[in-house]
Each structure stands twice: as C-alpha cells, then as structure tokens.
Structure 1
Amino acid sequence: MNKIRIAIAGAGTIGQAHIAVAQGSPDCTLSAIVDPSPAAVAVAKAAKVPLFTSLDELLATGRPDGVLLATPNHLHVPQALQCIEAGLPILLEKPIATTVAQGEQLLKVVNAIGAKVLIGHHRAHSPIMAKAKEVVQSGQLGQLVAVVGSATFFKPDDYFDSAPWRRELGAGPILINMIHEVHNLRMLCGDIVAVQAFASHATRGFAVEDSVAINLRFASGVLGSFMLSDTAACARSWEQTSQENKAYASYDDEDCYVISGTNGTLSVPTMRLKTHARPEDRSWWKEFEVGTVGMVREDPLKHQMAHFCAVIRGEAEPLVSARDGLENLRVTEAIANAAKTGQTIHLSQLGSEHVAARML
C-alpha cells in the first residue's frame, strides 16, 4: 500500500510535533511544509521536504493526499474552506474557528459537500480516554451522577513575555486551554447543556482571567464542577498526569477527573476504580472494592495521524467531526459568556444552527 502524502501548514510548536509524527508514521509520508515565516526554512530543510509560503503555491505545484492545518486560529476557517474547495481532506487543529458563527459557516460547507474534515482534538485518540469511556459505558459505575475536574498549572512569566497578546482579552485559559477539557468531559459524560462560571484575574492582574470556577449541566442529568487556572502551582492537569507529553513533569499519584456514579467512581488518568461488589447492598457504611483499570499510555498524536490516513483512504469516518469541533467551541464560548455576565448560559440559546453533537 502506498503511503498517504501529507502536507503540513504551520511550522510552529504544534506543527513541528505533527511533522515529527508524520516522519515516523508507517501510514504516511511528509510531502511538504507550508509556512511564510523565515523560521520555517530551517524546519523544512531539517525535514528534507519542499517549503511553500502559501496554500496557493502548494496547490499550484501538485496535490498532496491530505493537508494538516496547524496554523494560527484566525486562519483556520479560510484555509479549511480553501482546502475543501480543492477537494482535499483536512485535519484541522483545534479550535475549529475563533467564533461559533465562523464555525457554523464552515460546518454548512462541510455538510453540503460531504468534505472529509477531522478536527484536531487529539485527546480523543488517547488510549487512556478510550479506556475511561469504556469503563463508564460498561455500567460498572452505575448511573452517572457527577464529575469533578481540574486543569490547574502555573504558566511562567516568559510564556506571557514572549507573546504579550496572551495577557489581553481573546486569550486566557478559557479560550486557550478549556476547549481540550470540554472534549474530554463530553466523551465521558455526554452533551453539556448549561454552564455557570466565576472568573478572576486577581493573581496576575491581566485584562484576561487567570482562574475560573465552572459548573456544568449535562443532558443526561449529570452535574459537573471544574477548576481552571494557569496561575495555580498544582499538578492536577492532563499534561501533568497523563504522561502522554514527555515535555511535562508528571505525577502518577494525581488525577484530573473523578467520575462518580451510583455504584462507584473512576479517577482519571490513574484509573483507580472504587465500586460496590453488591449494588443491592451499597451504602456509605460499606467498603468499596478497590482496584486499577489496566490501560496503556501512548502518544495520541500518533493515533490521530493513523486515523487521519484511514479517513483519507475512506476506511473511517472522522472520530472528531466538524460538528463535534463546533460543539466544543460552543461550550467554551458559553463558559466565557457565563463568566462575563454572571448568568447561567444554556447551550440551546447559542448559535442559529445549534444541533447537539453527541459523542457516540
């Protein structure tokens, strides 16, 4: 079988991560890099592939089998539309768009044409998340009742000094980080239908928030609470617990999600499981059976690339569709609105084309 030829647009941090994955993949080969920045010259030279300054230039010289768009957020929709018009399958890095309205515009085109679009919520391809979802769906926890989550970590000063826009409105952990958590929570507990939030910038004093307390209502009736902060020196974040990204220090005694049902709890990603052996006799007076669910830790970016190749070959439908990507953005935007207004935001009221994207 011939390898799928993938062009990667965007040679920044995440683009370079995708480049490394493509180069090591048994399913695809890196055919080109697209990036107008001078720094991309060295990246393309090291990768030993042609460098193009624009998608127009790439498409004028030949067609790859698919394009991975790892470009700045504001370019996602116009570049996705350009690739779709050219008939190219795309892996579009999250977020699908910078606003729900733009995401709805893209979704209309995807649906009308039947375009092959995979949204880059890479944690959807995590073996840890797959196993957690399997446990939840098995019924071992009983009927789901609640989920408690956190993404608490400390971003150093140079993170903001190197990119001052991160201090201003339009940045902040809600828009930059929370969208990852939204997708994970939807995988585990289903659609989110309403949110509340309190935000604070008391620690750093920037125009944008640094900490947020969030309440969530799921369509199933499950309730959730989530603590988000990029100024809390704490290890309860996916990056610091999953061990999937080796660039981060990791702590195998910490969890970032605890999912509770009527018969027990699952803590993720330690996968510690506490359940009642006899559900008919369960009580807070009774001891739990305590164990750990077996799972593997592998780079989800590698699994995502293999899945993208399967989508290109017509062997699979996108695990994270454009509709899923839009729903994740819609929830994130709702959290930002709730924090700003102090109101409960109901997802059904957001966007003219709202249709819940259930995580089947």
Structure 2
Amino acid sequence: MAHQIGLVVAGYGLVGRRHVAAIAQTLGTELLAVVDSDPLARTRAEADGHQSFAGLEDCLTACPASGVIIATPNALHVEQAMLCIGAGIPVLIEKPIATRSPDAEALVEKATARGVPILVGHHRRHNPIIHRARVLIDAGDIGEIRALQATCWFYKPDSYFDEAPWRRKAGAGPIAVNLVHDIDLMRYLCGGIVSVRAIARPARRGGENEDVASALLEFDNGAIGTVTVSDSIVAPWSWEMTSGEYPIYPRTGESCYLIGGSHGALSLPDLKVWQHARGTRDWWTPMAARAEIRDATDPLVNQIAHFAEVIRGRAEPLVSGEEGLRTLKVIEAIQKAAASGDVVDLS
C-alpha cells in the first residue's frame, strides 16, 4: 500500500479551498495544514477543522510536508515556490507559474538543479474530455489540424473584484487569469505557438487591466488559432459554463472550442467529431457527428492524485515547470502584442 502523502495548501481563497476539497477525495493524501496571511481566512480554515499558519516558512518548520500546493495571489507564487524548492519539497503551483517569465525561468532552473519537481496547475489537462480529445487528435481522426477557434466569454460580478482588490491590479486581468488556461489547452492539443498578434481594450469597470482581448496565433505545425476572452460579456461560451467541470457554474450545453482538420472537425467540450458521409471530403456531401465517450472524473482530484504519484517518484509531471513557463510566455506575448500592435515572434 502506498504511503500517505501529507500536503500543505498555501492560500485559503476560492481556489485553495477547492484544492483542500480535492485532497479530501483523493486516496493516499491528507491535508496537514493551510497557510494564509489573512486572519479571516485562517479563522475560516480552523472553523473548517484545519490547522493554519500565517507564514509558509513557519508551517514547513512545524509540518513534515511531502508537497505544497501554492494557491496564493500570482505575485507570491515564485517567492513561495522558491522557499519550497530550497527545502527540497515538490510544489504544485496554481497557474500562472509566475507574473513574469524571467522569474519563472529562475524558479525552473533552481528546481532542475536541485532535482525537485514542479507541477503547474493547468488542471484542465487532467480532464477526461481533454484526455479523449488528445487521443483522437493523435490518432489522426480529424487529420492535420489547420485551425483552432476558442471562445472565453463570461461576466464576473462586481463583488468578484470587491472581495479581492488585487484582481484589479495590473497582471490580474482575464488574459493572465483566465485565458492562460485556454492557451495552455491550445498548446497541449495543437502544438507550440511561434507568433502572436493581439488587441485588447481597457476594463470599462475600472482597474488596471483589460476586460476584452483577442489574439491570432500561429502554431509551429502551420495551424492558425483565434481566441477571444472577456470577463464583461454575458454569454454561454466559456469552458467554465460548457464543460460541467465545476458545479458552481451553470452548464449551458454549448461548446467553446472548435478544432478544424483536413479530414474532420472536433468540438469541445461536447466531444463531437464531424465528418462527411462515406469518407468523401466536399461541401456538397452531408455531414454527420459522432459523440465520443469519456469518463466523468474530477480533474482537480485527478491532478492531486497525479501530484502524489510524482512525489512518490512514479510519474513525471503532466504540466511541468517548463510547460507552465512556455504557456506564460505566450500570455506575455499576447499582452505585448496588444500593447504595441506588433507581431510578437516566439519561435
């Protein structure tokens, strides 16, 4: 029987609490403590039955942690991860891995030098929908990918920003906070991104960020991707509201990703493969869709189970520090292209 993996969660906000719940549902793992500098968050954690600390260093001194999950505001990710790496403790860092790629590079280099695993919390890669999509693409079911279209539209209420003022600060807009997930999946399903064009508009509700942006992406395999994101559009087309991944978001039954290939097309998250009848490829021939079957496991629980296997030395990170860094560089390129109007080369 595998030994119990003791985990610490830094940050007891919305995402941190989801990690705590996932740990409780994952065999072979246990929560040792919660870390949060906010006294109200620690009070809530203790009321929920968890040991709490104000600082990560004090927690690691007191608790024999096998791994740490960092779910604090983005600006704290590198500092806290460096502390864990220095102590030889594997880390699962919520996306994005850092606010700046040079900081992420320094973190990845230190972890590599010390042989300490980093996982980045792009949990959608652990979703059975995405696993099945990757299998279909790799098997050639839709042929050579030529284009990808992603939509990430939703409306965050004012209270979302009021309860956490850092969300109005530079670097916490929907490009960095939300689109980073979609970019990671685009990379995972379609390959590396070599150039970016983009446009963005300032948030009409105030703050230092955009509230709508669009990007045109060139992939290293010749495919082209388009994506738009907004946290101020009322719409049913986003991963949150289509995938059923997290029950607090009402499911719309729509799709938000369209992947077009030379022999068919794939829509997600409904996992429909569209092809012409009788194997013919022409626009006069009727088309039909087949819905693929996948299991219904929770990607956050899958991610915790995977983290435990990495800690035990039985698996390599599905989303390594290097992968998190590559996704972050695309996000930075989108921000740079939107600000300058120039094409940003990532090749």
TM tier, shorter chain? over 0.9
Counterpart Cα distance in 2 of 1:249 and 1:275: 30
- 2:42 maps to 1:64: no
8 Å contact kept, 2:211–2:232: yes
- 2:179 maps to 1:210: no
Query: Which residue of structure 2 lines up, in the alignment, with residue 332 of structure 1?
Result: 331
Which SS does the other structure have where 1:177 is aligned? helix
Which deviations, in whole Å up to 9, do the C-alpha atoms of 1:179-223 show, x marking residues without a partner? Answer: 111111011101111111111237546542211121010000000
Which SS does the other structure have where 1:210 is aligned? strand
Query: Which residue of structure 2 lines up, in the alignment, with residue 131 of structure 1?
Result: 132
Shift of 1:84: 1.0
CA RMSD of aligned residues (A): 1.6
CA 1:112–1:158 in structure 2 vs 1: closer, same or farther (change >3 Å)?
A: same
Query: Which residue of structure 2 lines up, in the alignment, with residue 268 of structure 1?
Result: 268
Amino acid at match of 1:6: L
Which SS does the other structure have where 2:210 is aligned? coil
Counterpart Cα distance in 2 of 1:158 and 1:54: 27
Does 145-154 or 269-278 show the bigger shift? 269-278
Query: Which residue of structure 1 lines up, in the alignment, with residue 230 of structure 2?
Result: 229
Amino acid at match of 1:337: K
Shift of 1:161: 3.1
Does 205-214 or 63-72 show the bigger shift? 205-214
Q: How does 1:17-32 map to 2 (within 5 A)?
A: 17-32=18-33
TM-score, normalized by length of structure 1? Answer: 0.92
Does 137-146 or 288-297 show the bigger shift? 288-297
8 Å contact kept, 2:193–2:219: yes
**Aligned length, in residue pairs:** 346
Amino acid at match of 2:127: S
Unaligned runs of 5+ in 1: 349-360
Does 24-33 or 315-324 show the bigger shift? 24-33
Counterpart Cα distance in 1 of 2:164 and 2:75: 16
Which deviations, in whole Å up to 9, do the C-alpha atoms of 1:213-254 show, x marking residues without a partner? Answer: 2101000000011111111111100000000100001111x1
CA 1:168–1:33 in structure 2 vs 1: closer, same or farther (change >3 Å)?
A: closer
8 Å contact kept, 1:146–1:224: yes
Amino acid at match of 1:341: S
8 Å contact kept, 2:258–2:268: yes
Query: Which residue of structure 1 lines up, in the alignment, with residue 43 of structure 2?
Result: 42
Does 282-291 or 15-24 show the bigger shift? 282-291
8 Å contact kept, 1:146–1:222: yes
Query: Which residue of structure 2 lines up, in the alignment, with residue 183 of structure 1?
Result: 184
TM-score, normalized by length of structure 2? Answer: 0.95
Amino acid at match of 1:263: H
Q: How does 1:1-360 map to 2 (within 5 A)?
A: 1=1, 2-201=3-202, 203-204=204-205, 207-252=208-253, 254-279=254-279, 281-348=280-347
Which SS does the other structure have where 2:183 is aligned? helix
Counterpart Cα distance in 2 of 1:15 and 1:176: 15
CA 1:207–1:37 in structure 2 vs 1: closer, same or farther (change >3 Å)?
A: closer
Does 124-133 or 70-79 show the bigger shift? 70-79
Identity of aligned residues (%): 43
Which deviations, in whole Å up to 9, do the C-alpha atoms of 1:68-127 show, x marking residues without a partner? Answer: 111221111111111111111111111111101101111111221221111111111111
8 Å contact kept, 1:244–1:297: no
Shift of 1:60: 2.1
Unaligned runs of 5+ in 2: none
Query: Which residue of structure 2 lines up, in the alignment, with residue 355 of structure 1?
Result: none
8 Å contact kept, 1:244–1:298: no
Which SS does the other structure have where 2:129 is aligned? helix
